[in-house]
Amino acid sequence: MNHFERRMLLGLGCVGGLTLLCAGSLGVALLMSNGKGAELLQSQRGRLEQLSLNDTAPETPADGASSSPARINRPAPSAAPRAELPLRGGATTGMADLSRLYQQVNPGVVAINIEQVVDLGQGPGRARGSGSGWIYDEQGHIVTNKHVAGDASSLEVVFSDGSRRKARVVGMDGYSDLAVLKVDDLPESARALPVLENLDDLLVGHPVIAIGNPFGKANSMTSGIISALGRVIPAADPSQAAAGQPGYQIPQTIQTDAAINPGNSGGPLLDLSGQVIGVNAQIETMNIQAGGVPGNSGVGFAIPASVVNKVVPQLIASGKARWSYLGIQGSSDFTVEMAQANNLAEPRGAYVIGVQPDGPATQVLKGAQNLSDQNAEVPVGGDVITAIDGEPIDDFDDLLSYVALRTEPGQEVRLTVLRGGTEQEITMSVGERPSRD
């Protein structure tokens, strides 16, 4: 991957039209990564970068100059009778009536205006941007991305009928990049969107739609298909991770070719019955336009409904989410060369490259023994986990998904492990990931 190809967090959507949407006459482009301002040119670092487009521009510099906030398009309120969601027979039966689907689900999608105080180098100023979200329940809870809400000092929700409400953060989770906001009341036109309960109902090729606020264009719908299932994406910008801390991944991510762009982050990816199957979060693109603005290349990623169903109720109840972990590092790329170097018949299972000091797997599992050898071409000597609780593990992503979504901190799991060519059964307790926020 060259430095022009990068994966991007699609945060506050107005960086793509920064001079038009954020600060009309100001040409200063700022990038906010997880809510912290950084110059756009700094985003060129790293082989794989997640760029939080909490797209901001100086709203009130030290000299007191100001400009108008990002404009939000206000569509005409839908006159369609409200139907019960999910719509019957619509999940996989083609793209026949997207207009009807849009009329039913659009009242559940919101634009989010964000304001944050930032250091402009010459004094404090205000930065504004916008992202997307969707209504989770009738109590006024709204789901978006953590990288959208970030460290905002002010949050305003704009509903599909143009109504506006101030919002507050109920909880955020850095491991899933999800956040829950709360408004005191919902406008009469608003409605909550149902969340898919079983991710097994999805198949590659199923049609989907995305609705959100790309480049500040609220209530925009695009359509496509599920391009792949079971992807993993980084949970946070690597540049924001504490030194020496492992990088965590979001499991079971949905890949789609539905166009999602800066500003779609936090908005829903829906099936044709109107169920939320994921939360749009990142794109991978080589389409970097003038001024560093990323463009859609047909490779977008949505945080899956399985993660939403695990995390959002916890955020509403306690403001934070608990995650299990084993405290090991591995690679999704278990190659034939690695298998041969470790005297294995095939590259199947989760290869343990390293074991986190003082983590749950310390003294239980073994990582590669040659990592300190500067001349080592492939890791050698690490355990290979081939099953957990009797369920086969084909690769490290399988292990991540099982531990993250099917265990709770403190739970005992039974691992089937190949160590030195010999199969062993090992029982251990999973731990709780340290707080990321």
| Catalytic machinery residues | 147, 177, 265
Calpha distance 286→298 (Å, rounded): 11
Amino acid letter, 357: P
Calpha distance 23→5 (Å, rounded): 28
Q: How many residues does the chain have?
A: 437
Give Cβ neighbours of residue 305 (< 8 Å, ≥ 6 apart).
195, 196, 197, 199, 275, 276, 277, 278
Give Cβ neighbours of residue 125 (< 8 Å, ≥ 6 apart).
58, 59, 60, 61, 62, 117, 118, 119
Give Cβ neighbours of residue 358 (< 8 Å, ≥ 6 apart).
none
Tell which residue, 285, 271, 243, 233, has the closest CA to residue 16: 285
Calpha distance 345→322 (Å, rounded): 37
Structure tokens at 353: 């490259």
Alpha carbon distances (Å) from 245 to 131, 328, 343: 29, 11, 31
Give strand pairing partners of 426.
415
Structure tokens at 435: 């707080």
Please state the φ and ψ torsions of residue 315, each to the nearest 5 degrees. Answer: -65, -40
Calpha distance 345→423 (Å, rounded): 13
Tell which residue, 193, 185, 126, 137, has the closest CA to residue 157: 185
**Using alpha carbons only, what angle is made at residue 147 by residues 146 and 152, rounded to the nearest 5 degrees?**
85
Give Cβ neighbours of residue 219 (< 8 Å, ≥ 6 apart).
73, 75, 106, 109, 111, 160, 211, 213
